[in-house]
Amino acid sequence: MEARSQAAKVGLFVALTGAAAYGIYHFVSPTVSGGEGYKVHAYIRDATGLATRSRVTIAGIPVGTLESIRLENGAARLDVKVRKDVFLYENATLGKKSASLLGESVVVLTPGEPPSPRLRDGDEIHTMPDETTPAQILDEVKEIADSVRAVASQLAASIGTEQGGQNMRLILQNLADATGALNQTIRENREVLNDTLRNIDAIARNANPQMAQILENVRVVTQDVKELLAANGRGEPPGRLRDTVDRLDEASKSLQSTLEHADSVAGRIDRGEGTIGRLTKDDALINEVQGVAEGVNDYVQNLVRLRTIVGLRTDYNFLANTIKTYVSLRLQPREDKYYELELINDPSGFTSFTDTTTDTTNPNEPAHYRTITTTTTEAFRFSLQFAKRFGPFTGRFGIKESTGGIGLDAHLLQDRFEIINDLFGFSEEVQPRYRVSVSYEFIKRLWLLGGVDYVFTPAQRDYFLGLQLRFDDTDLKTILPFAGPVAGATGH
């Protein structure tokens, strides 16, 4: 009866764990449990920033995933899987859009519309025009800077020299002389103008009322001109004409000052003075700036390639009747190398040993004896290991469950079946702790595990069965402060 109760507990636990893991699995990635949908493909010139399993969106809403990227006929072929409830038509388009400043990109679709026929599984979709890249913007800025430099050189060559300034002064002097000659002519012909006005007045008295009105208007205008000339002749303050000439003179002085400053700035740049001048003349500074730019580019590229794989695992130990939980984060800058950080909640706690040697003269005790003290605390265990892959095998080294340890894994069936060996616990037991397990990905990203713990210690040997959810979290690498340095250190 007790055995049946134990078996019922185990069965209930496995069912609940499977249901919970399947629910988490659907929450993390709604597309992992179903293979329903259809595929379309497109060809683009540049697939930089895209990775397998990248998001595919319409109007910012995920509708599928990027299944594969490969080179075909000199172009990048993208195979995209779209949900079956999303319809694409022959006038639909596919493009690449930047998702962040770090260089990550996503695939964007426009679904098109009827009456165009719907796309079917395996059809090709048209591509959007390529968006402007930061490199193209920098090239355009460089062309503008070259044009500005050419204009400044031409300006300095024409009026930035002593001869150019002299020519500008001569032009302004000629303008002043012409206005003076016009003023002198008006003064010399004052009497003629008076006679003409008297004749016009006599004609106006004999003309019809319409002509009188027109002449009255002319008279008003000529009277204003007469008063202006009379004021200039008596040495009174100048009128509007003189004010205009004065403002023109001030404007010419301001223009001359501006040209002198432009000539000074162009000369400093040409001599290599100042920040801009050094950038054009100092080869060492140019090399340093180029080196910094290349370093930033390498950093961004390594950060883009970095994979952040999250693992959530729960095991049931049959003999101890306990549940053990793992939370892991794998930082993988390359396919054959990764760092894994793991936090373990083990009901058995963390056990440490203290070996004490005692010498005594007490006749009731041995003269020399050893005391071994065992201490068990309810503390979380952690693992931090470096892993390197060689073909189908991966070797691991570092800290395993808060003790020194090593490991060797074998990957079979296109990496869906793993045999995991761990040897650790050198500070807990005289004989190290050996654990062996096998895991199989029976549903995408969901693994079933089973194995034996304490293989070398029959008194503590136990058997376990568990489930693990393992998935990529692309958002983590943008918030982990150490993701960039790890990628940079391991990218060479």
Instruction: Indicate the domain borders of the chain.
Output: 37-137, 156-279, 306-490
Separation CA 189–CA 233 (nearest Å): 13
- Give 203 or 53, the one with higher predicted confidence: 53
pLDDT of residue 377: 60
pLDDT band for position 229 (cuts 50, 70, 90): low
pTM for this predicted structure = 0.38
**What Cα–Cα distance (Å) separates residue 291 from each residue in 265, 282, 284, 296, 411?**
28, 14, 10, 9, 41
Name which of 67, 13, 22 is nearest 447 in CA terms: 22
Name which of 425, 415, 474, 477 is nearest 51 in CA terms: 474
Strand partners, 469: 312, 446
How do the residues of the chain divide into helix, strand and coil, expressed in percent and rounded to 5? 40, 35, 25
pLDDT band for position 3 (cuts 50, 70, 90): low
Q: Is 397 helix (H, G, I), strand (E, B) or coil?
A: strand
Mind listing the pLDDT tens digit for each residue in 304-362?
678 889 999 999 999 989 999 999 999 988 889 999 999 998 887 656 556 677 777 77
Of the ranges 79-93, 128-142, 169-183, 278-292, the best mean pLDDT one:
79-93
Name which of 442, 441, 461 is nearest 453 in CA terms: 461
Q: Please give the single-letter amino acid code of residue 452.
A: V
Q: Longest C-alpha distance within the chain, in Å?
A: 160
How many CA atoms lie less than 13 Å away from 445 in the CB half-sphere?
Answer: 24
- Dihedral over alpha carbons 82, 86, 57, 329 (to 10 degrees): -50
What's the topology of domain 306-490? Porin (2.40.160)
**What Cα–Cα distance (Å) separates residue 356 from each residue in 84, 368, 374, 425?**
70, 11, 11, 20
Share of the chain above pLDDT 70, in %: 69
- At a CB cut-off of 8 Å and minimum separation 6, what does 359 contact? 367, 368
**Please, what's the b/e burial string for 51-90 (b: 16 or more CB within 10 A of its CB; e: otherwise)?**
eeebbbbbeeeebbbbbeeeeeeeebbbbbbbbeeeebbe
**What Cα–Cα distance (Å) separates residue 437 from each residue in 1, 185, 387, 408?**
31, 114, 18, 11
pLDDT of residue 402: 85
Separation CA 107–CA 88 (nearest Å): 15
Separation CA 125–CA 77 (nearest Å): 11
Cα Rg of the chain (Å, integer):
44
Check pLDDT > 90 for residue 46. no
The answer to whether the bond into 363 is cis (omega within 30° of 0) is no
pLDDT of residue 37: 87
Mind listing the pLDDT tens digit for each residue in 397-440?
999 988 889 999 999 999 999 999 999 987 666 678 899 999 99
Mean pLDDT of the chain: 78
Check pLDDT > 80 for residue 111. yes
pLDDT of residue 34: 44
Across 58-76, average pLDDT: 89
